[in-house]
Amino acid sequence: MSITMNLQIALSALRNLLFPLRANCLGCGAATGCREDWICPACRKALTRGWVGASPPPKGMDAAAFAYTYHGAAVGIVSQLKYRGVTRLAGFMGGDMARAYRFIEPTGADCVTCVPMHPKRRARRGYNHAELLARELAARVDLPFEALLERVRDTPQQARLDADARRSNVSGAFRALDAAGGRRVLLVDDVCTTGSTATACARALRAAGAEAVCLVCYARAMK
Ligand SMILES: [Zn+2]
C-alpha cells in the first residue's frame, strides 16, 4: 500500500470521527451511517417480508395489486413522502408498485390516473403524493398518465375516520372527466385501508364511461 493511500485512509477515518454521518433511515428513523437519508437494510428486509402482489380488489374495482402491507417500514416511507416532502421516495416506491402491477397486467389498463387531492389542499402541500406515485408507475409500465379525476369536495383526511365515516366522507367527493369514457383505467393511491376512496373513484370513473378500473397502491392495510 502506498503512502498516499495510507494517508487517505487515515484522513477519512479522522473525518468520520470529527463529522460522523448522521443520516437516518426513512423507514424507521434509525441512524444509517449513510451520507444521505435512505432506507436501512433491516427495513428493506421487513418490506420484502410484507410483499403482497395481487389481492382481492375493493368493491367496484376489476383487480387490485399492492406492493406491501401497511406496516413497519412501509408506514414510515409513506409518511415521509406524504407529510415530510421527501418526494424522491416516489421513484423508489413507484418501482415496487410496477412490480406489483405485473401481477394484474392482463386486465389491460390503457392509462394511469391517481386519487386527486382538492386544489386547496394541493396548494398547501405543494404536490399530490398519489400523483407522484402514479407518474412514476406510469413511466415504468409504459402507460400514459392522465388526470381523469377531480375532487369536488374538500373532505376531511380519511386517516382520522372509521370505516362507516370513511364511506360517507368520500361518497360523491369525486368526478371523472369525459376523457375517462371507454378507457381501461389503472387507479393509483398510496395506501388502501377500507377501500372506500378507491370504490368512490371507481364509481365516478364508471359513471363517466370507463370500461374497466383496477387499482395499485403502495401499501394495503390488513385487518
Ligand atoms: Zn430502517
| CA 23–ligand 1 middle distance (angstroms) | 11
Is there a contact between 148 and 114 (Cβ–Cβ < 8 Å)?
Answer: no
| CA 101–ligand 1 middle distance (angstroms) | 25
Whether pLDDT at 103 is above 90: yes
**Burial annotation 133-166 (CB, 10 A radius, 16+ → b, else e):** bbbbbbebbebebbebbebeeebeeeeebeeeeb
- Please report the pLDDT score of residue 57 as a whole number: 95
Residues with CB under 5 Å of ion ligand 1 are 25, 27-28, 40, 43
| CA 175–ligand 1 middle distance (angstroms) | 39
User: Which residue segments constitute the domains of the chain, with CATH numbers given?
Assistant: 20-49 (no CATH), 51-220 (3.40.50.2020)
Please write the tens of the pLDDT for every residue from 181-208.
Answer: 999 999 999 999 999 999 999 999 999 9
How many whole angstroms separate alpha carbon 203 and alpha carbon 162? Answer: 21
Whether pLDDT at 80 is above 90: yes
Choose the weakest-confidence range: 25-29, 46-50, 142-146: 25-29
Q: For the whole model, what pTM was predicted? A: 0.86
Q: How confident is the model at residue 164 (pLDDT cuts 50, 70, 90)?
A: confident
| CA 73–ligand 1 middle distance (angstroms) | 6
| CA 98–ligand 1 middle distance (angstroms) | 22
- Please report the pLDDT score of residue 167 as a whole number: 81
Mean pLDDT within 1-8: 77
CA distances from 75 to 31, 47, 81, 88, 147 (A): 18, 10, 10, 16, 26
C-alpha dihedral, 195 to 198 to 200 to 202, nearest 10°: -130
Please write the tens of the pLDDT for every residue from 165-183.
Answer: 888 888 889 999 999 999 9
Choose the weakest-confidence range: 11-20, 40-49, 158-167: 11-20
Q: How confident is the model at residue 73 (pLDDT cuts 50, 70, 90)?
A: very high
| CA 216–ligand 1 middle distance (angstroms) | 24
Q: Amino acid identity, residue 2? A: S
Length of the chain: 223
Provide, rounded to the nearest whole percent, the portion of the chain with pLDDT above 90.
68
- Please report the pLDDT score of residue 1 as a whole number: 61
